Amino acid sequence: MKSLLALITLGASLCAQAQIDLTQLREAARSRDLATLNQLAQNANGDVLEMYPRYYLLSAQINTLTEADVAPFLARYDGTPIAERLRADWLKELGKRQDWVSYDTEYPKLDSPSAELKCYAAQSAALRNDTGALAQARPLWFSARPLADACNPVFDTLFTRNVLTQDDAWTRIRMALNANRSDLARQLGARVGFPAELTAKSLARAANTPDKVFDAAADGRAAREMQLYAMQRLARKDADRAAQLFQSASINWPAADQRYGWQQLGLIAAKNHNDNASAWFERGGMAGLDEAGRFWAVRAALRVRDFKTVLARIDAMPADDLQLSVWRYWKAEALRAQGRGAEAQPLLLGLTDGDDFYALLAREEIGPVASEKPQHRRADATEQRTIEQVPGIRRALALYAQNWRVEGAREWAWALRGMNDGQMLAAATLADARGLYDRSIDTAERLKPLSDPTLRYPYPWRNVVTQAAQDQGLDPAWVYGLIRQESRFVPDIRSSAGAAGLMQLMPATAKWVAGKMGRKRFDLSEVTDISTNVSMGTFYLRYLLDRLDEHPVLVTAGYNAGPGRARNWQNNDALDAAIYIETIPFDETRNYVKKVLANAQHYGASFGSNTTLHQRLAAIPGKLVTPPQDNSLGGADGGDGN
């Protein structure tokens, strides 16, 4: 590796623009073409991105490297995301080699170690008999997901030393079953004596015919866990039947297991909008609920408009939960519903300085508030030129220039570390000027009181978007709000699910829309064209509006999760739109709808619109008055919630 070391230790100054062909680099890295990687590394000297081919050359040979090979790179590029990446790669290799002296030297320098690297650190601590450092690995055990093999010897040691106990083993088995990871639960059975209930056959029976698991009484911990698993499986299809069977089966159970069962039943039922969910949560109580459980206990009461219980459950939350705008708002609404408006007023007033969904609702409900007008501004040309010289910003711009967006975003985020407000404002303004709207939005969001609102809510291609919206009879502010959430104005972005373009159209949706629009020669490659994507996306929005009661809340939810789901989440009778939104069962879609509608309000303000958020939140009509619709298409962006 001597020639490589010579490359890395060269100290030439970096040139202003990247000359490296990143497409060639990516292909060479994928194929592990060492000759090409070596040539690219040699040619990169002095380039603003010189560390990238050198990283890939080192990474491709990580299992043959020595400390002398790696150290010069880490020293030369210390404090960059690519050095952090190589350090993580190298630590993983050192862990595999059991080279604990080198591992312990390098590990403290890593910014964000993975669970696997934490486990290697714990292995080293165990060999040093550092009980304090070893005990820090205990929280890693409590995961519903399988962990890296490096964690197994750590857990063996923790169990041997009684830092982890049989109760902890059962806790994780319960977590795995609750997450429907029966294979993991079966593997964990080794920690509790391989009970028959945790064999593959027994778990499959509980998953496929859950009601039959209740034929026999639960004798012992394993049998109870199996019946809890079966109850949860059944509840997803028939919560009332699951409640009936669980009530009979759990009469003689320990009180804690009974409470847990009712809590889980309440959680599943609440997500399915079963009117009994709140009562089942009441039987389980709030004690011991995790964050999701606490939040859904409130939502279950909210869905049936039991504001007394809403208030009691919010008041029972930990202090950190109570700082969230969502629960401050709903506490105020619960107080108002009980005729305690004077107590609600300070809560609403405290929300008005924000700009999220609930802050906007509170601002409209409380009316005009006298406050000092913020001094919004953009950075001037000199400030932008100065920030452009920051090495991390230069690397990010060079990466974006060749469409390495993931790496560019990572470099940009690292460059923002330690910046003051003025520097971040300059970075946001620079990104906006370069058309990197995802970076300008992300950066300006950190400076809400200072930055020009158009940095946070830009509206590029206004003529194209406005015309397409007007052609379909849509509010341009709403369309912009949706685009901002879907793509952050990156025209050629593609999601892992295959959605593409500004409005993130799935291939099937794009083909269907093209057919409806009479575009017989449509090719999927056209979907990232700005005009084509927006015209097709707005056509699809119009289609959804015509089938979902012309209601923007239903359409926004349907655009993300599919129109069939949006309609299934309706009540049989009319429902407050804010309650509908807060009780959407998918975290992704719930947050999406709030953000799109809040975005629409901010864009409306820029466009001079007088439409209020409350006007967008007209009551959601009941299912019984909603006409049948075509459910053959999912969400435009392929969203399916969690």
Question: Residue 194: inside a domain, yes or no?
Answer: yes
Confidence of residue 335 (pLDDT cuts 50, 70, 90): very high
Closest CA to 606 of 492, 388, 436, 453: 453
For this structure, is 106 an active site residue? Answer: no
Model pLDDT, residue 633: 54
- Express as a percent the part of the chain with pLDDT over 70: 93
Confidence of residue 138 (pLDDT cuts 50, 70, 90): very high
Provide φ and ψ at 494, rounded to 5°. -130, 135
Closest CA to 267 of 275, 277, 257: 277
Structure tokens at 241: 């039947």
Confidence of residue 632 (pLDDT cuts 50, 70, 90): very low
User: Do 485 and 597 fall into the same domain?
Assistant: yes
- What are the tens digits of pLDDT across the range 271-327? 999 999 999 999 999 999 999 999 999 999 999 999 999 999 999 999 999 999 999
Q: Which residue is associated with the tokens 């714990």?
A: 122
473: left (phi over 0), alpha (psi -120 to 50) or beta: left
User: Do 245 and 307 fall into the same domain?
Assistant: yes
Q: Which one has a higher pLDDT value, 373 or 220?
A: 220
Model pLDDT, residue 216: 86
pLDDT at 13 over 50: no
User: Do 316 and 233 fall into the same domain?
Assistant: yes
CATH number at residue 428: 1.10.1240
Question: 162-199 as b/e, with b when 16 or more CB fall inside 10 Å?
Answer: ebbeeebbbebbbbbbbeebbebbbebbebbeebebbe
Model pLDDT, residue 450: 78
**Residue where a domain stops, chosen among 412, 432, 456:** 456
Helices (H), 378-434: 381-388, 391-401, 405-416, 421-433
Q: What is the DSSP code string of 171-183?
A: HHHHHHHHTT-HH
Domain count, the chain: 4
- What are the tens digits of pLDDT across the range 339-367? 999 999 999 999 998 999 999 999 999 98
Question: Residue 363: inside a domain, yes or no?
Answer: no
Closest CA to 351 of 339, 336, 370, 366: 366
Question: 378-413 as b/e, with b when 16 or more CB fall inside 10 Å?
Answer: bbeeebbeebbebebbbbbbbbbebebbebbbbbbe
Rounded to an integer, what distance in angstroms lies between the CA atom of residue 76 and that of residue 362? 51
pLDDT at 3 over 50: no
Residues with Cβ within 8 Å of residue 365, at least 6 apart in sequence: 348, 614
This prediction has a pTM of 0.93
Model pLDDT, residue 7: 43
Average pLDDT of the chain, as a whole number: 93
**Residue where a domain stops, chosen among 308, 338, 368:** 338
Closest CA to 257 of 384, 167, 193: 167
Q: Which residues pair with 377 in a beta bridge?
A: 451
Question: Residue 587: inside a domain, yes or no?
Answer: yes
Structure tokens at 176: 């795995």
pLDDT at 62 over 60: yes
Query: Do 560 and 593 form a contact (C-beta atoms < 8 A)?
Result: yes
Structure tokens at 153: 């010897």
Q: Which one has a higher pLDDT value, 627 or 604?
A: 604
Question: Residue 372: inside a domain, yes or no?
Answer: no
pLDDT at 203 over 70: yes
CATH number at residue 546: 1.10.530.10
- What are the tens digits of pLDDT across the range 434-489? 999 999 999 999 987 778 999 999 999 999 999 999 999 999 999 999 999 999 99
Rounded to an integer, what distance in angstroms lies between the CA atom of residue 529 and that of residue 508? 17
DSSP for residue 210: G
Question: Residue 348: inside a domain, yes or no?
Answer: no
User: Do 439 and 480 fall into the same domain?
Assistant: no
User: Do 466 and 452 fall into the same domain?
Assistant: no
Dihedral over Cα of 601, 605, 607, 608: its sign: positive
Closest CA to 443 of 469, 419, 478: 419
Rounded to an integer, what distance in angstroms lies between the CA atom of residue 93 and that of residue 462? 51
Looking at beta carbons, which pairs linking 403-408 to residues 24 or more positions away fall under 8 Å? 403/22, 403/492, 404/22, 405/438, 405/490, 405/493, 407/52, 407/81
Q: If 0-12 CB within 10 Å is exposed, 13-18 middle and 19+ buried, where does residue 455 land?
A: buried
pLDDT at 126 over 50: yes
Model pLDDT, residue 625: 55
Region 10-16 average pLDDT? 42
Model pLDDT, residue 364: 96
**Which domain, by its residues, includes 609?**
462-625
Return the SS3 of 594: helix
User: Do 410 and 498 fall into the same domain?
Assistant: no
User: Do 327 and 194 fall into the same domain?
Assistant: yes
- What are the tens digits of pLDDT across the range 477-514? 999 999 999 999 999 999 999 999 999 999 999 999 99
Closest CA to 395 of 409, 381, 379: 409
pLDDT at 369 over 80: no
User: Do 493 and 614 fall into the same domain?
Assistant: yes
- What are the tens digits of pLDDT across the range 375-396? 788 999 999 999 999 999 999 9
Query: Do 298 and 583 form a contact (C-beta atoms < 8 A)?
Result: no
Model pLDDT, residue 43: 94
Helices (H), 250-304: 255-271, 277-284, 291-303
pLDDT at 15 over 80: no
Confidence of residue 12 (pLDDT cuts 50, 70, 90): very low
User: Do 412 and 538 fall into the same domain?
Assistant: no
User: Do 229 and 327 fall into the same domain?
Assistant: yes
Residues with Cβ within 8 Å of residue 366, at least 6 apart in sequence: 345, 348, 349, 352
CATH number at residue 195: 1.25.40
Q: Of 226-230, 494-498, 534-538, 565-569, give the lowest mean pLDDT range.
A: 494-498
Residues with Cβ within 8 Å of residue 245, at least 6 apart in sequence: 211, 214, 231, 234
Question: Residue 641: inside a domain, yes or no?
Answer: no
Q: If 0-12 CB within 10 Å is exposed, 13-18 middle and 19+ buried, where does residue 574 land?
A: middle
DSSP for residue 110: -
Q: Which residue is associated with the tokens 């001597």?
A: 2
Structure tokens at 277: 């969910």
Question: Residue 20: inside a domain, yes or no?
Answer: yes
Cβ neighbour number for residue 519 with a 10 Å cutoff: 16
Region 152-165 average pLDDT? 97
User: Do 418 and 483 fall into the same domain?
Assistant: no
Provide φ and ψ at 566, rounded to 5°. -55, -40
Residues with Cβ within 8 Å of residue 155, at least 6 apart in sequence: 141, 164
Tell me how many degrees the CA angle 348-273-208 measures, rounded to the nearest 5.
140
- What are the tens digits of pLDDT across the range 594-616? 999 999 999 999 999 999 999 99
**Of 486, 526, 550, 588, which residue is the catalytic one?**
486
User: Do 291 and 440 fall into the same domain?
Assistant: no
Question: Residue 150: inside a domain, yes or no?
Answer: no
Q: Which one has a higher pLDDT value, 638 or 314?
A: 314
Rounded to an integer, what distance in angstroms lies between the CA atom of residue 522 and that of residue 525? 9
Model pLDDT, residue 6: 41
C-alpha R_g of the chain: 28
pLDDT at 641 over 80: no
Cβ neighbour number for residue 100 with a 10 Å cutoff: 18
Confidence of residue 634 (pLDDT cuts 50, 70, 90): low
**Residue where a domain stops, chosen among 338, 370, 396:** 338
